[in-house]
Amino acid sequence: MRYSQVLSPIGIIIKNRSMGYVNPEYLIYKQIAYYLRAQYPGVLFHFDSSGLHHTKTQAGMLKAIQKGKGFPDLMILAPRGKYHGLFLEIKTEAARIYTKSLLPADDHIADQEQWLSALRMNGYDADFARGFDEAKMKIDIYLNQGD
């Protein structure tokens, strides 16, 4: 599978010759999934597919069964310490999450921050992760609690 990168005003767009546009976050999801399967084979995890590209029909169906916008990308269903599980909202390394005054960078980030905050209030560890390396670090810290 060959990918080409094209610089656009909003960052790097990854194109796959057979698939067309590929969401850059999806490539990070794949890295994380491979890592979790290799390093933590007994751990249950799931990626929310709402952030991926869907047909209009699929997008409408997903919207009809969701509580709202901004649900985190990755769920790790493994209690550790005082937490019931780990939720991560995956971003590219270049993503802007907060403004200089520490407010959410846009409405979409604000929706995601509301979800993360609600999850924290309900006993889950929940945060943003920029890129594979930061996600891996947060996963390792979380899953190795109490070792």
DSSP letter string, 21-53: EE-HHHHHHHHHHHHHHHH-TT--EEE--TTS-
Tell me what pLDDT residue 25 has: 87
**Is the whole-model pTM more than 0.85?**
no
Q: What is the pLDDT along the chain (147 residues), one digit of tens a residue?
A: 344 444 433 344 445 555 566 778 889 999 999 999 999 999 999 998 766 666 888 777 777 777 778 899 999 999 999 999 999 999 999 999 999 999 999 999 999 999 999 999 999 999 999 999 999 999 999 999 965
- Domains, the chain, in order of start with CATH, read 24-143 (3.40.1350.10)
Measure the CA–CA gap between 22 and 27, rounded to whole angstroms. Answer: 8
The three-state secondary structure class of 103 is coil
Strands annotated E in the chain: 3-8, 11-16, 20-22, 45-47, 74-76, 86-91, 125-130
Sheet holding 3-8, edge to edge: 3-8, 11-16, 20-22
